[in-house]
Structure 1
């Protein structure tokens, strides 16, 4: 799930582009040790199907898989972290962070994480559930006025992408406003206005439809019931308790260095541009946040195991409903063939942050383009290629959601 503009591939704010392939050898580095060379290296996956030792031999297979996707999808740069307790760690950077200067991609770079933001917003909401300040089955109209079907759409249906509201990021007027001036700020009320000018698509809870509008509404609920601005609440009550040190919710276009540049074709002309300094306020509660590889590795585990929530509340979050083939969606979280977490896409950037419970494995992929390749998001292609090597019984493959209204 990402945060796309007009092409929604189960996600939040993203775009697509067509890029000239760059040499993936540039900037390639091993930044964390794999298992000791004496570990078995003859087989990719253990005979019993368990998560394999991340030996040098397996690392080479993963290198090849990542490089192949980079070459085919013309991805300038990508960073990857894969690990499981007792199995070693695979941490790599490939390619370039800046096409103009040739600066290498690094595993310490800050990146925009798009719809992974949704997991933070829903965590904030669920904390308020734990505090008795909201109820999952409360209607959104109790907190926000003027929502179509607001007396019947519940907070649970918003978090589970089953509200029936129109996705504001698919509105033609919004697309024109953003691409004509991508550095302008948007308010949550402006974003809702783009959605509410359209009729509802279906009755509440009738089906799954990935929609950024849902998260804007949940962000407003968090603000109203916490008495804090959303960015302040998430930074103070979610990021800090989770032990994250390079993750934050920006209020404008701030982007701490070091960061990668990001390349998109979601532009007024359709030509590829660097979107690093675009204002992510249009994604707000659905896609505005920034993080890095190490923090996303920590967050994958915190999110999937629910350490910031009461066990019963986390259990509600993880009750997934069929969304797309092979994919279930819970409350701001998906389960793709056993991998639990979320993806993200914002103009110029994509992210994948997932956790496989049985081996306690985490996989994080961060890249500096959102340009689709043959209808698939690059983050999905990386996830699929990597998991085919290490967890062939749990291959991450996220199909695209058809766009409604265009």
Structure 2
């Protein structure tokens, strides 16, 4: 989560000082993201600070001067996970499943009987990360770019291998966990997990620009294009692709405005009952930096932040905030040139916040 720790810095400045700090804050963020789009591997960036201030840099397409759209749509990758974990926690609050009950209580035979719902949400299950065994690299990605995967096919890749460790003994990020979470939602609610997310989160919060694309390969609405290198290193426009290999672990599309609305509601306790809200951000000795669908990080300044990042071919996303209302949402479209934005993130942390 080093991207979380670095980019969150811009968020935390937003409510510090007097109102006149806003232009300075925007200017500092603008300087950093301009550097990222010129030498840090990003083609275009859009960022939203505290729901109000927006900055952007770069272009929407290679070979074009078209700017990145304000509040454009983008693939959010693993930022899908907090939406899914929120629905699972809602179901726990309704008494429809238990966090410390085995997954097999609802889905017998799907995964090892020792794996609990909590371990799935917290990445302590030991399930092999199926994406590590998929051809998602430049040489292999073209062969599966438009393939439609079922969640059962994805999970079969994971369960064909032994557990990486005994459940509950370690933390290791695995997309397989959230495929299991999606299947749990479907079993308990009797409807597609996408429908549950739409009815329980998108509709109440009026997230009209957030999409669970299912089998669609399109990015709807104004958007910047994402690029990924081919085997020779040449950037290829991969905006259109099947996100089914991510499914409940990473298929969603959204905007910085919608992500800001979601994160604000989530951290303010508006989507979960108090007991489940506490579980959302609870870490452990085994998982000191990850709750149940949210990463937890302490910045060098001492501030604790919560959020998630996500990557999918052509796009990178960051959504971070604090319970007292400070937030940053950022979308980065990749230029596929092998840049190293890490230094830019560190400078953002030091220059803008600390």
Query: TM-score w.r.t. structure 2 length?
Result: 0.87
CA change 1:371–1:132 in 2 (3 A) is farther
1:151 to 95, 98, 113: 113
- Aligned positions of 1:129-278 closer than 5 A: 129-148=92-111, 150-172=112-134, 178-252=141-215, 253-265=217-229, 267=230, 271-278=234-241
Aligned match of 1:343: 309
What is the CA–CA distance in structure 1 between the aligned matches of 2:286 and 2:49, rounded to whole Å? 26
Q: Secondary structure at the match of 1:115?
A: helix
Indicate the residue corresponding to 1:285 in structure 2: 248
In 1, the alpha carbon distance for the partners of 2:143 and 2:47 equals: 33
What is aligned with 2:24? 57
Q: Which runs of 5+ in 2 are unaligned?
A: 5-11, 299-303
Q: Is the 8 A contact 1:244 1:295 kept in 2?
A: yes
Q: Are the aligned partners of 2:47 and 2:329 in contact in 1 as well (CA < 8 Å)?
A: yes
State the match for 1:30 in structure 2: none
SS in 2 for 1:70: helix
8 Å Cα contact 1:166/1:211 also seen in 2: yes
Verify: 1:73 aligned to 2:35, yes or no.
Answer: no
Which piece of structure 1 moves more, 92-101 or 186-195?
92-101
Q: Are 2:278 and 1:315 aligned?
A: yes
The structural deviation recorded for 1:173 is: 5.9
Q: How big is the shift at 1:328?
A: 1.2
Distance across 2 between alignment mates of 1:264 and 1:145 = 39
Q: Give the distance between the partners of 2:80 and 2:90, measured in 1 at CA.
A: 16
Determine if contact 1:365/1:383 at 8 Å carries over to the other structure: no
SS at match of 1:55: helix
The structure with higher relative contact order (CA 8 Å, sep 6+) is 2
Partner secondary structure for residue 329 of structure 1: coil
Tell me if structure 1 keeps the 8 A contact 2:235–2:335: no
C-alpha distance 69-50 of structure 1, shift in aligned 2 (>3 A):
same
Task: Give me the whole-angstrom Cα distance separating, in 1, the residues matched to 2:141 and 2:13.
Answer: 46
Q: State the shift of 1:55 in Å.
A: 3.2
Gaps of 5+ in 1: 2-8, 12-43, 393-406
* 1:240 CA displacement: 1.3
8 Å contact 2:168–2:286 — kept in the other structure? no
Q: 2:88 aligns with which of 119, 125, 130?
A: 125
Q: CA RMSD in A?
A: 2.8
The structure richer in helix per residue is 2
- Check conservation: 2:35, 2:344, Cα contact below 8 A: no
Shift of 1:10: 9.0
Q: CA deviation at 1:268?
A: 5.4
- Equivalence for 1:91: 54
Give TM-score scaled by structure 1 length. 0.76
Aligned in 2, Cα 1:322/1:172: closer, same or farther, shift over 3 Å?
A: same
- What count of residue pairs does the alignment treat as equivalent? 339
Is the contact made by 1:173 and 1:194 (CA closer than 8 Å) also made in structure 2?
A: no
Contact 1:119 1:303 in 2 (8 A): no
Match of 2:333 in 1: 368
Distance 1:121 1:382, change over 3 A: farther
Query: Residues 45 and 269 of structure 1: is their aligned pair in 2 closer, same or farther, counting only changes over 3 Å?
Result: closer
Q: CA deviation at 1:382?
A: 6.0
2:77 and 2:285 map into 1 onto residues whose CA distance is 23
2-structure distance, mates of 1:293, 1:226: 29
